[in-house]
Amino acid sequence: MVLGKVMGTVVSTIKHIDYFGHKLYVIQPLNAECSPVGDTFLACDTVQSGVGDTVLVMREGNGVRQILKKEICCIRSLVVGVVDEVDAHPSRRSEPTP
Protein backbone atom coordinates (compact mmCIF):
# COMPACT_ATOMS: atom_id res chain seq x y z
CA MET A 1 0.00 0.00 0.00
CA VAL A 2 1.14 3.55 -0.64
CA LEU A 3 0.56 6.93 0.94
CA GLY A 4 -1.23 9.39 -1.28
CA LYS A 5 -3.02 12.69 -1.40
CA VAL A 6 -6.47 13.05 -2.93
CA MET A 7 -5.94 15.72 -5.60
CA GLY A 8 -9.44 15.74 -7.06
CA THR A 9 -12.34 13.76 -8.42
CA VAL A 10 -12.95 12.24 -11.84
CA VAL A 11 -16.47 12.64 -13.20
CA SER A 12 -17.39 9.70 -15.41
CA THR A 13 -20.86 8.63 -16.53
CA ILE A 14 -20.03 6.01 -19.16
CA LYS A 15 -17.88 3.36 -17.51
CA HIS A 16 -17.40 -0.34 -16.90
CA ILE A 17 -20.14 -1.84 -14.72
CA ASP A 18 -17.61 -2.72 -11.99
CA TYR A 19 -17.03 1.02 -11.44
CA PHE A 20 -20.70 1.88 -10.86
CA GLY A 21 -21.28 3.35 -7.40
CA HIS A 22 -17.64 4.08 -6.68
CA LYS A 23 -16.16 7.56 -6.35
CA LEU A 24 -13.05 7.92 -8.49
CA TYR A 25 -10.19 10.07 -7.20
CA VAL A 26 -6.95 11.40 -8.67
CA ILE A 27 -4.21 10.36 -6.22
CA GLN A 28 -0.72 11.85 -5.95
CA PRO A 29 1.62 9.30 -4.32
CA LEU A 30 3.62 10.62 -1.35
CA ASN A 31 6.78 9.45 0.37
CA ALA A 32 7.15 8.95 4.15
CA GLU A 33 7.82 12.69 4.56
CA CYS A 34 4.51 13.34 2.77
CA SER A 35 6.12 15.04 -0.23
CA PRO A 36 4.91 14.15 -3.75
CA VAL A 37 6.75 11.36 -5.55
CA GLY A 38 5.96 9.81 -8.92
CA ASP A 39 3.02 10.16 -11.30
CA THR A 40 -0.63 10.56 -10.35
CA PHE A 41 -3.05 7.66 -10.72
CA LEU A 42 -6.74 6.94 -10.13
CA ALA A 43 -8.28 5.04 -7.24
CA CYS A 44 -11.81 4.23 -6.08
CA ASP A 45 -12.90 5.25 -2.58
CA THR A 46 -14.21 2.93 0.17
CA VAL A 47 -13.72 5.06 3.29
CA GLN A 48 -15.57 8.32 2.51
CA SER A 49 -12.32 10.26 2.11
CA GLY A 50 -12.34 13.73 0.62
CA VAL A 51 -10.30 15.98 -1.64
CA GLY A 52 -7.13 17.14 0.16
CA ASP A 53 -6.99 14.14 2.51
CA THR A 54 -3.83 12.10 2.96
CA VAL A 55 -4.90 8.53 2.37
CA LEU A 56 -3.70 4.95 2.29
CA VAL A 57 -4.11 3.40 -1.14
CA MET A 58 -3.97 -0.27 -2.03
CA ARG A 59 -2.66 -0.74 -5.57
CA GLU A 60 -3.23 -4.43 -6.07
CA GLY A 61 -6.23 -6.23 -7.53
CA ASN A 62 -6.59 -9.32 -5.34
CA GLY A 63 -6.94 -7.26 -2.17
CA VAL A 64 -9.52 -5.07 -3.94
CA ARG A 65 -11.57 -8.14 -4.86
CA GLN A 66 -11.45 -9.32 -1.24
CA ILE A 67 -12.69 -5.94 0.05
CA LEU A 68 -15.42 -5.59 -2.56
CA LYS A 69 -16.35 -9.29 -2.14
CA LYS A 70 -16.30 -9.98 -5.88
CA GLU A 71 -14.50 -12.83 -7.57
CA ILE A 72 -14.05 -10.88 -10.79
CA CYS A 73 -13.61 -7.11 -10.61
CA CYS A 74 -11.49 -4.84 -12.79
CA ILE A 75 -10.73 -2.23 -10.11
CA ARG A 76 -7.03 -2.19 -9.23
CA SER A 77 -6.55 0.76 -6.85
CA LEU A 78 -8.65 1.41 -3.76
CA VAL A 79 -8.47 4.04 -1.01
CA VAL A 80 -8.55 1.94 2.17
CA GLY A 81 -7.70 4.44 4.91
CA VAL A 82 -7.58 8.13 5.81
CA VAL A 83 -4.20 8.97 7.34
CA ASP A 84 -4.25 11.14 10.47
CA GLU A 85 -0.50 11.30 10.99
CA VAL A 86 2.69 9.71 9.68
CA ASP A 87 5.27 9.32 12.43
CA ALA A 88 8.31 8.54 10.32
CA HIS A 89 11.35 10.78 10.38
CA PRO A 90 14.17 10.41 7.84
CA SER A 91 16.73 10.36 10.68
CA ARG A 92 15.24 7.07 11.89
CA ARG A 93 16.26 5.29 8.71
CA SER A 94 18.87 2.69 9.49
CA GLU A 95 22.13 2.99 7.61
CA PRO A 96 22.44 0.39 4.86
CA THR A 97 24.66 -2.46 5.98
CA PRO A 98 27.73 -2.94 3.77
Partner 1 sequence: MILGEVLGALVASTRYQGLEGRIFLVVQPQEADGKAIGDAVVAVDTVHAGPGDRVYIVLSREAALALEPWFVPVDHTIVGFVDSVDLEESG
Q: Does 46 bind partner 1 (CB under 8 A)?
A: no
CA angle, 74 as apex, 73 and 76 as ends, to 5°? 110
Q: Does 76 bind partner 1 (CB under 8 A)?
A: yes
- Contact region for partner 1 (CB under 8 A) — 5-13, 29-37, 79-87, 89-97? 5-13
Q: How far is CA 79 from the centre of its chain?
A: 4
Q: Does 21 bind partner 1 (CB under 8 A)?
A: no
Using CB under 8 A as the binding criterion, the count of chain residues that bind partner 1 stands at: 30
Q: Does 10 bind partner 1 (CB under 8 A)?
A: yes
Nearer to partner 1, 10 or 88 (CB): 10
Specify the DSSP class assigned to residue 81: E
Asked if 59 and 38 touch (Cβ cutoff 8 Å), the reply is no
In 3D, which of 33, 31, 46 has the Cα closest to residue 81? 46
Handedness of CA 52, 84, 86, 77 (dihedral sign): negative
Task: Give me the residues that bind partner 1 (CB under 8 A), please.
Answer: 6-16, 18-19, 24, 26, 39-43, 51-52, 61, 64, 72-77
